[in-house]
Amino acid sequence: MNTGCPNQECKIYLQNVFQKKDGHYFRADDSRFVQRYKCKICGKKYSSSTHKFEYRQKKRRFNQRIKEDYAGGKSMNRLSLNLGLHPKTIQRKIEYLAKKARYSERERQKILKEEKAIQVQFDDLITSVHTKLKPVSVSVVIAPKERLILGAVVSEIPAFGKIAEISRRKYGRRKNKHTKNLDLLLENLRPVIAPNAEFKTDEHKRYPELIQKHYPKSTHLKFKGERAAVAGFGELKSKRFDPLFAINQILAMFRANINRLFRRSWNTTKKENHLQDHIDIFINYFNEVLRNQSRKVRKRNKVKLIH
């Protein structure tokens, strides 16, 4: 969609007025004809693709395939091998897809402002960067009724348990950014969460004060954490009824679809921002595709039961 003159010094910068069509060109990369425009004020020439994320991008045909495979458990090296693309090309595509995914989720939140979430669950998933001695926490917030992932943030945390002393000796004391980043995430989600929402979490000691800070009129229900159902399931719990099943099932899907979060994997994260990019791409793919597919399956099963 054309969004106007791209010249920042023009009087009608980014306005769809005082422009005229100026021919078109054939884009061989995806076999499309692209409309050209010319600004009547400053004479700047541009096209309908100037303001898109894909501007001046090569190999556009691979974008959707990379997004689907990267959000479905495949690694960057396997994508490079299967598609015949250079690893640097794959890296650039992922950076572009992450940027576009974040933009898409911001646009989704603008729509959610009209019907704010009244039920919210959130929890943390523990993983690591480069080595087990450098753990990080992934805080995930969801709306269980809509089965929608509202947001997630990666935070550096210090090592704990038996490896804590080894981590301090080898890499020094690590900062704990979990509370700060989760606080910022809840602050950013205030427009899409109702003030009187019902929060369900485990018994983490930091959760009550953060919820009370941003949502003083809300209700907070805490539940004791349980052991995993089967070794390898990760987040799904063994008890018959799990009040936090929605968030645990979403975190289990993180483990199953993001290759760097697999329980036993050769894939490791080297930088936190790369992990954040991967998570943002999966969140966007889950909200756009996976949640809708599951709804279609449930609807189809109901029709079969009726007949």
Kindly state the tokens that stand for 233: 């399931």
- pLDDT under 50 in the chain at which residues? 232, 302-305, 307
Kindly state the tokens that stand for 291: 């949640």
pLDDT at 304: 47
Taking alpha carbons only, the member of 141, 152, 139 closest to residue 98 is: 152
Helix (H, G, I), strand (E, B) or coil at 164: helix
Q: Where are the beta strands (DSSP E) in the chain?
A: 19-27, 32-39, 45-47, 117-129, 131-143, 148-156, 193-201, 219-222
Kindly state the tokens that stand for 242: 């799990």
CA 169 vs. chain centroid, Å, equals 34
Contact 4, 13 (CB under 8 A): yes
pLDDT at 109: 93
Q: Where are the domains of the chain?
A: 1-52, 70-298
DSSP annotation string for 63-75:
HHHHHHHHTTT--
Bridge partners of residue 117, in order along the sequence: 193
Taking alpha carbons only, the member of 132, 134, 169 closest to residue 155 is: 134
| CA–CA gap between residue 23 and residue 7 (Å, rounded) | 19
The C-alpha angle with vertex 130 and arms to 127 and 132, in degrees rounded to 5, equals 50
pLDDT at 105: 96
pLDDT at 266: 85
CA distance between the termini of the chain: 45
The amino acid present at 185, given as its one-letter code, is L
pLDDT at 70: 96
| CA–CA gap between residue 210 and residue 216 (Å, rounded) | 10
Contact 279, 258 (CB under 8 A): yes
| CA–CA gap between residue 62 and residue 91 (Å, rounded) | 13
pLDDT at 237: 61
pLDDT at 242: 84
How many C-beta neighbours within 10 Å does residue 1 have? 7
pLDDT in tens, 100-113: 999 999 999 999 98
pLDDT in tens, 117-153: 999 999 999 999 999 999 999 999 999 999 999 999 9
pTM assigned to the model: 0.87
| CA–CA gap between residue 184 and residue 207 (Å, rounded) | 13
Residues in the chain: 307
